[in-house]
A and B are shown apart, each in its own frame.
Chain A
Amino acid sequence: MDIFSNILAGFSIAATPLNLILCLIGCFVGTLIGVLPGIGPAATIALLLPVTFNLPPASAIIMLSGIFYGAMYGGSTTAILVNIPGEAAAAITCIDGYQMARQGRAGPALGISAFGSFIAGTFGVIFLMLLAPPIAELALKFGPPEIFAVMVLGLTILSYLSSGSLIKAFIIALIGLFIGMIGIDIAGIERFTFGIPDFFDGIGLVPVLMGLFGVAEVLLNIERVITRDIFVTRIEGLLPNREDWKRSIMPISRGTAIGFLMGVIPGPSNTISSFVSYAVEKRLSKHPEQFGKGAIEGVAGPESANNAACAGNFIPVLTLGIPTSAVMAVIVGALIIHGVTPGPLLIKNNPDIFWGTIASMYIGNFMLLILNLPLIGLWIKVLKIPYGILFPLILFFCFVGAYANNNSLVDVNVMIFFGLVGYLMKKTGFEPAPLVMAYILCPFLEEAFRQSLIKSHGDFSIFFRRPISATILAIAFLFVFMNIFSGIKEKRKRFLEKIDED
């Protein structure tokens, strides 16, 4: 089989001592920056690019890609431990992962996250290897109306993210949309910026995440005099047990499929896929009320999804030379600088890059698993730090993260503001996840909306005339109706029960 011999050739490239070491360095650095907030994979890859100038192109890409998926692994660690997502895609992991940590189950959470990421990443690469060109063709069919439909689907998923009131979830999502609208829009008009130049490009995601998740959680905890039992000190085991595995195996499989398919779509696909996976798992679960209180499916599914999405992200880049996110754009830049022209001919002209990268992704996933599992023991020790010392460190961590995002103190102001907002939100029953989701989606949603309307000269039916977007919108409406319907069913049930009582 042609693929077989190609992948063997790929392994022979990826498994040279130099490339193995570079892969390890990349994964290690990636994990580190995934844990550290404020420094993202895109910036790191750009920073380390000059270091790779004297390396052969395949080696350079191997190391730089390692940083990328290493960051995915690292981002979930802080999400679980201290409720701070190191990456936007890990925001969903905060919901159940952090609750698991508070119940003393940080080990299993971290473990299932690592294993799920590994399984999903590996299968993602397998799919990438086998299906890259046809999937790329499919992805090209996603024009503005289709992207709009996907974003709408993402927003309707919101109803599944909140364990509380549906209205509040939608309200807070709208607030998220507004925050996303701050800045210069695609027509060059400043919106809601209050004349602050730092806001021209929008309010950074990192300060918002740091404030909403990190600072708000700390503020909530310091209401009470600090005793040592913020976290259950008796840690239950370091790894997921049999029960955990039984519950996680299907979420992992579904997450892989969802993540990989969505990873090809341009935009914040890693994040959206993790949200979609969470919603799917909650819908399919036999005990959905556990979600939000430490259900392991809520960690297994999303973590698998965002790792599979990484593999999916590579497809448009390797087959067509089109980057679908900022990180991929930097990787394309790296290719160009090394004299490799990404484009439809990459597979033909530079098979060593294509197959070498794919082979190194297998190796990288494996390395990350080996790197992260022993670290679980280390991370657990972090939780053992008395909260009286831990919480200043967390605040410090958030502070530096918000600042380092763009070397700007204004971002720190933003973080403090959202810390307050997040705190008030938690006290009044609003959840942060829908806000983050809407904030991330907003630019893509609006851009696709306006582009579609320009193209159709103001005709709204464009969204329904095209098969793909019509299908996706139908699924979205279905979600909403089903949720309203089950909500009404609930109310009716309770009403009837009340009547029975009287």
Chain B
Amino acid sequence: MISRKRICSILMVAGILLFLSTGWGAAQEKFPNRPIQLIIPWAPGGGGTLNAQTLQPAFEKALGGGAMIVNKTGGGGTIAWNFVANAPPDGYTVGIVNPSLVVTQYTTKTGVNFKKFEPIITTVIVPAGVAVKADSPWKTFKEFIDYSKANPGKVNMANSGHAAMYHMGNVGIEMATGVKFTHIPYKGSGPCVAALLGGHVDGTLAEISTLLPYVEGGKFRILAVSSSKRNFAIPNVPTFKEFGFDLDVGTWYGYVVPKGTPKERIKVLHDAFKAAMNSEAFKAFYAKQGGVIEYMGPEGLMAYLEAQDKQWKKIIDFGGFKPE
């Protein structure tokens, strides 16, 4: 029979082989050799998840690997952003960001400084619009602002979250035009729309993708839009610029990785995203939403983040918001 010693040595060899095969010896490997995680800071069904989901098929194809969408909600997005910032910088953890990243730096204790990330790319900007009910007395933005100036505090504006992006956007309008609104916080854009439909508020600032169906349905009127050029979906609506101020408060979606990720890996991700942006599905999706496909590469996104940072800080300081 096989001796004890024999068995022992066989077991030892098997053990060592098993040990090695668990990947402890992995050094240079092809990137990616396992699925990338796309961390979305908001609940499924929302704009961020939809952005990632629309990109996903073409992205995976261009990348030659899988991409897993992971929703990590909470803290206005900060839980997910903290997670990404602290993740190992190996290119397998990618986060999606939008203006809230910049805003929450100043308004929450848990906000993450955008400099903790390496930007990869931006994909789209969906401008924001000021909407009122179609049967309201204000037909133009000027009428709305004049009325608000004459009745400080009387006009109720719904926002999708206290001290969040669109609340700050409304404060930005106050800063630029000298009006005073009453800000009513809701949880997300959906409830804002419902509140406006029911006449519980006078107006709201939201991304036009949310507002468009109601404009087409004859329920809402968009008075002004936040992009620098008029939007293709609502060509008759003037921009903030035409009223003399510039508030870039639309929603943009960009992708980042933690600082320290190797440049070659960033390039791989960047090229895959860029290819995905060119897919028919992506373009068609945002064509319906009024989203402007806006490409910015790593340097472009970094510069944009700095510009956004300046803008939002000004608004936040004006409103006197501090991390509580």
| Direct A–B contact in the complex, CB atoms closer than 8 angstroms | yes
Task: List CB contacts (< 8 Å) of B170-227 with chain A.
Answer: 182-188, 190-191, 193-195, 197-201, 212-214, 216-219
B291 CB → nearest A CB, Å: 12
Q: Contacts of A322 on B, CB cut-off 8 Å?
A: 190-191, 193-194, 197
Measured CB to CB, the nearest residue on chain B to A190 is B109
The residues of A that contact B53 with a CB separation of less than 8 Å are: 49-50, 337
Chosen A-B contacts, 15 in total, with CB atoms closer than 8 Å, are A42-B44, A46-B71, A140-B194, A140-B197, A184-B108, A188-B324, A321-B213, A321-B214, A322-B190, A322-B194, A337-B50, A339-B285, A344-B213, A344-B214, A454-B182
- Let me know if A63 is at the binding interface, CB within 8 A: no
Contact B198–A141 (Cβ < 8 Å): yes
Q: How far does the alpha carbon of A447 sit from the alpha carbon of B191 in the complex, in Å?
A: 12
Cα–Cα distance between A323 and B78 once the two chains are bound (Å): 24
Q: Mark A81-101, 1 if CB is under 8 A from B, else 0.
A: 000000000000000000000
Contacts of A49 in B (CB 8 A): 44, 53
Give the nearest-CB partner of B215 in chain A.
A343
Q: A322-B190, A451-B184 are in contact. Are A343 and B107 (CB under 8 A)?
A: no
Given contacts A184-B75, A200-B79, A322-B190, contact A337 B54 (CB under 8 A): yes
The residue on B at minimum CB distance from A450 is B185
| A120-153 near B? 1/0 per residue, CB < 8 Å | 0000000000000000000011111000000000
Q: Tell me if B250 counts as interface (CB < 8 A to partner A).
A: no
Are B213 and A343 in touch, CB under 8 angstroms? Answer: yes
Provide the B116-160 mask, 1 if CB < 8 A to any CB of A, else 0.
Answer: 000000000000000000000000000000000000010010000
Are the C-beta atoms of B54 and A201 separated by less than 8 Å?
no
Within 8 Å CB of B284, what residues of A?
Answer: 339
Give the residues in chain A near B95, CB-CB below 8 Å: none
A482, CB-defined interface residue at 8 Å: no
The closest CB in chain A to the CB of B107 belongs to: A188
Establish whether residues A455 and B161, one from each chain, have CB atoms under 8 Å apart when the complex forms: no
- Cβ of B49 and Cβ of A333 under 8 Å apart? yes
Residues of A within 8 A of B265 (CB): none
Q: Could you tell me the distance in whole angstroms from the C-beta of A500 to the nearest C-beta in chain B?
A: 58
CB neighbors of A among B238-269 (8 A): none
- Enumerate chain B residues within 8 angstroms of A189, measured Cβ to Cβ: 324
Contacts of B324 in A (CB 8 A): 187-190
- What is the interface size of chain A, counting residues whose CB is below 8 A from a CB of the partner? 48
Residue total for B at the interface (Cβ-Cβ under 8 A)? 57
Chain B residues within 8 Å of A181, by CB: none
Known: A49-B53, A188-B162, A337-B50. A329 touches B197 (CB 8 A): no
Instruction: Output the nearest chain A residue to B54 by Cβ-Cβ distance.
Output: A337
Q: Which of A6-50 contact B (CB under 8 A)?
A: 42-43, 45-46, 49-50
CA distance A341 to B216 in the complex (A): 10
The CA-CA distance from A187 to B185 in the complex, in Å, is 8
Q: Are A341 and B162 in contact (CB under 8 A)?
A: no
Per the bound structure, the CA–CA distance linking A187 and B162 in Å amounts to 5
Q: Which residues of chain B are near A323, meaning CB under 8 Å?
A: 45, 190
Q: How far is the CB of B153 from chain A (nearest CB, A)?
A: 8
Given pairs A53-B57, A141-B198, A455-B156, 11 additional interface contacts (CB within 8 A):
A46-B71, A49-B53, A186-B162, A197-B75, A329-B46, A330-B43, A330-B44, A333-B44, A341-B212, A344-B218, A344-B219
Q: B45 to A46, Cβ gap below 8 A? A: yes
